[in-house]
Amino acid sequence: MAWTWFVLSGASAVVDWTATWFSNRKVMYIAKPATVIFLIIATFTNTRWQGEMLFYGIGLVFCLLGDILLMMRARFFILGLASFLVGQTWYMAALNQTPLPSNPLAYAGGLLLVLAAILPVGFIYKKIRSRNGPRHLSIAVIFYGLIEALFLVSASLTLYKDTWLPAHARLMTLGAALFVVSDIVLGIDRFDRPIAHGRTVVHVTYHLGQMIIAAAAIQHSLA
């Protein structure tokens, strides 16, 4: 596995985290999307997007679009949310190319993960409604939360699939969990109360999640 583009992605991410910490928007507007662009190149150069890697590649492209939209004016927030939703749907498509596991523990754990992901979304929904936020926004947040929960469960099910090496499955699950944590922090910071350096926390967890997902997907594909 060639790591050059991952190194560039990591370096760009560090620049972005530093920029968000010091509220340097000009640098952030370049470094944040650049981080995902390097990941897109990394997945392509390592796998040529063969097989299920095409789904991961398309998912990354939609996540890149989401990154760009969320950096624009507030009215583009829903479009950004929709882009990430589509991106995670493509990730789920990649993760569910093989049959579901038969181990009941997989689904017991999946149920716990759904609750862990959905409960904060319910809290964010109530905050939006209590502030008389647009109804379409609150509905979009709930729908996004459901899709994200399913994405997290799909990632966790790889732990019980014979087609996945345990190390790769653990990486995929960790990456998906970090992605979810990033969105929960974003929701609380935006709709409940500002979190100290909340944007930095969102970017760090998001970028680490995306890098780990990409690395797990590539290693699984090459294996």
In the predicted model, what is the mean pLDDT of residues 140-164? 95
What is the model's pLDDT at position 199?
95
- Sort residue 197 into left (φ over 0), alpha (ψ -120 to 50) or beta: left
- Sort residue 49 into left (φ over 0), alpha (ψ -120 to 50) or beta: left
pLDDT at 49 over 80: yes
pLDDT at 128 over 80: yes
Amino acid at 76: F
pLDDT at 138 over 90: no
Closest C-alpha among 48, 29, 40, 53 to residue 6: 40
Other C-beta atoms closer than 10 Å to the C-beta of 14 total 14
What is the model's pLDDT at position 46?
97
In the predicted model, what is the mean pLDDT of residues 58-65? 98
Q: pLDDT per residue over 65-109, tens digit each?
A: 999 999 998 889 999 999 999 999 999 999 999 999 999 999 999
CB 223 within 8 A of CB 6: no
- Provide the pLDDT confidence category of residue 157 given band limits of 50, 70 and 90: very high
What is the model's pLDDT at position 125?
86
What is the model's pLDDT at position 33?
97
- Sort residue 101 into left (φ over 0), alpha (ψ -120 to 50) or beta: beta
Measured between alpha carbons, how far is 137 from 128 in angstroms, rounded to an integer?
8
CB 148 within 8 A of CB 88: yes
What is the model's pLDDT at position 129?
84
What is the model's pLDDT at position 13?
98
pLDDT at 43 over 90: yes
